[in-house]
Amino acid sequence: MTTSNPPSAVPVSDYDPFTTEALADPIRYDGELREYASVVHLAKYDVYAVTRQSELRRVGRDRKKFSSKSRAFADPSPFKPPLMLMQDPPEHTAIKKLALELFSKESLRTLDATFHDEAERLVSGVMTEDSVELDAVASIGTAFITKVFLDALGAPEEGRELLKHFADAALNSTAPKNDLYFRKHAIGAPALEWVERNTQRETAGRRGWGKQVYTMVDEGRLSEEDGQQLVKLIFAAGFDTTIGSIVNSIRAFADNPDQWALLKANPALLDDAIEEVLRYYPPVRYTGRVAAVESEVDGFLVPEGAPVMMMWLSGGRDPSFWENPDVFDIRRENVAGHMTFGVGIHSCLGQHIARMETRAVLTAMLAHVETLEPTAPPEVADNMQGFGFTKVPVRFFSADKH
Ligand code: HEM
């Protein structure tokens, strides 16, 4: 005979993930929430946070019980188009299939070569002396992504510096409407105007992914409006996040010189190293779902209609899945098990691009940087949905003879 206990009510917490304290150290505070329970009702916002690795995987894969048509804190925002992210099949399937055409094997090969050339130019250009002090955010992450990502999109050169404010507002828009939300939206307003202009056919349709998208529109496979939304979504989703994965790599290696020495000695570990950085410092802290029906998760009853927070950052540090989760270890066995790109049908459209960009920069660094070290504490970004840094002061010691 098998017996099973009836599901119990979801434990309640007064934790607020958006206080200044929580935003300064989400690894600690979201971690405390995870240790409290696998599913927690956050009373202040009436949302349900899924905190642990196996429950995140289960909920993320169960698109029928956990829909994306509505998401925790996902009110309409001009910075975050609802296309794809807030669709269920069959609409989601159709648009994602088209969007994936932008990243065919052949086009990825061409882009990869460009990424490596640009990374080599950037890093060798920085390493002009035996040791160089720099801010990894401005001098490496932002410089590189502003060039290669916006070239790939087909964006004009003029005004590119605005995009960081657009991306920052986008990563603060699926979040409660607090002071930070309004501040980021105000700072992002001029950038929004620039993005609106540069997602239109007249400008975006000339080159790169923008041109490919508007060709689909011309072929009658995509509506004009969806075409524009798709270009805007790529602007919103692929900029700050990839600056993040590059900068976070530099931060992790600067703090863990033994791991950099290991990678230098064995560059075949590079792909694993990138996965470990993504787990350890994920650029996206959470996304969302809505419970389409009443559902049991880990013995807890999530009510129908409940807005759900998918706490990806917390899952990456879950000790019930990862051994020594707070240790940065590029040789860990299950290194590819993280869900930093989400899981299920909504898993990240641009993940190959993100990995390629990070790989290109780290490859150039392996060639030119012997060792690296932090020179001052990093500044954590005040970002609600994202996780990253606004400043990462480091010193690179050159591998080249000057
Ligand atoms: C390290 C960099 C990146 C991270 C950490 C990241 C993270 C994520 C996550 C967690 C999701 C899943 C959302 C969910 O299931 O709720 C997602 C979806 C998405 N990402 Fe990324 N992303 C990155 C880079 C990019 C890039 C470079 C692009 C575009 C070229 C992109 C475009 C998208 C799009 C369009 C979706 C929606 C997919 C769907 O709903 O089916 N992302 N991303």
Q: What are the tens digits of pLDDT across the range 62-84?
A: 999 999 999 999 988 899 889 99
Name the residue among 214, 198, 118 with its Cα closest to residue 163: 198
Q: Measured in angstroms, how far is the CA atom of residue 69 from the centroid of ligand 1?
A: 17
Farthest-apart Cα atoms in the chain, separation: 76
Across the strands, what pairs with 372? 396
Report the nearest-CA residue for atom 35 of ligand 1. 349
* Ligand 1 touching residue 208 (CB < 6 A): no
- Please give the pLDDT value at position 196: 92
Report the nearest-CA residue for atom 20 of ligand 1. 348
Name the residue among 297, 344, 306 with its Cα closest to residue 89: 344
- Mutate which of 233, 290, 348, 385 to test ligand 1's pocket (most atoms within 8 Å of Cβ)? 348
- Please give the pLDDT value at position 11: 97
Superfamily of domain 8-398: Cytochrome P450 (1.10.630.10)
- Please give the pLDDT value at position 263: 98
Structure tokens at 33: 């929430």
Enumerate residue ranges in the chain where pLDDT < 70.
Answer: 1-4
Report the nearest-CA residue for atom 17 of ligand 1. 348
CA distance 395 to 139: 12
CA distance 213 to 349: 15
* Ligand 1 touching residue 81 (CB < 6 A): no
* Ligand 1 touching residue 349 (CB < 6 A): yes
Helix or strand holding residue 379 (H, E): strand 379-380
Instruction: Report angle CA 223, 224, 225 to the nearest 5 degrees.
Output: 90
Report the nearest-CA residue for atom 31 of ligand 1. 350
Residue 371: DSSP 8-state: E
- Please give the pLDDT value at position 3: 55
Q: Measured in angstroms, how far is the CA atom of residue 310 from the centroid of ligand 1?
A: 14
Q: What residue type is assigned to position 70 of the chain?
A: S
Question: Where would I find the H helices in 86-223?
Answer: 91-100, 105-126, 143-153, 163-170, 179-198, 201-204, 208-218
Q: For the CA atoms of the chain, what is the radius of gyration?
A: 21
Name the residue among 68, 30, 32, 39 with its Cα closest to residue 303: 39
Name the residue among 386, 334, 312, 275 with its Cα closest to residue 55: 312
Q: Per this entry, what is the length of the chain?
A: 402
Q: Measured in angstroms, how far is the CA atom of residue 354 from the centroid of ligand 1?
A: 9
- Please give the pLDDT value at position 75: 83
Q: Measured in angstroms, how far is the CA atom of residue 350 from the centroid of ligand 1?
A: 6
* Ligand 1 touching residue 388 (CB < 6 A): no
Report the nearest-CA residue for atom 41 of ligand 1. 346
CA distance 289 to 72: 6
Atom of ligand 1 nearest to the CA of 344: 15
Q: Measured in angstroms, how far is the CA atom of residue 8 from the centroid of ligand 1?
A: 33
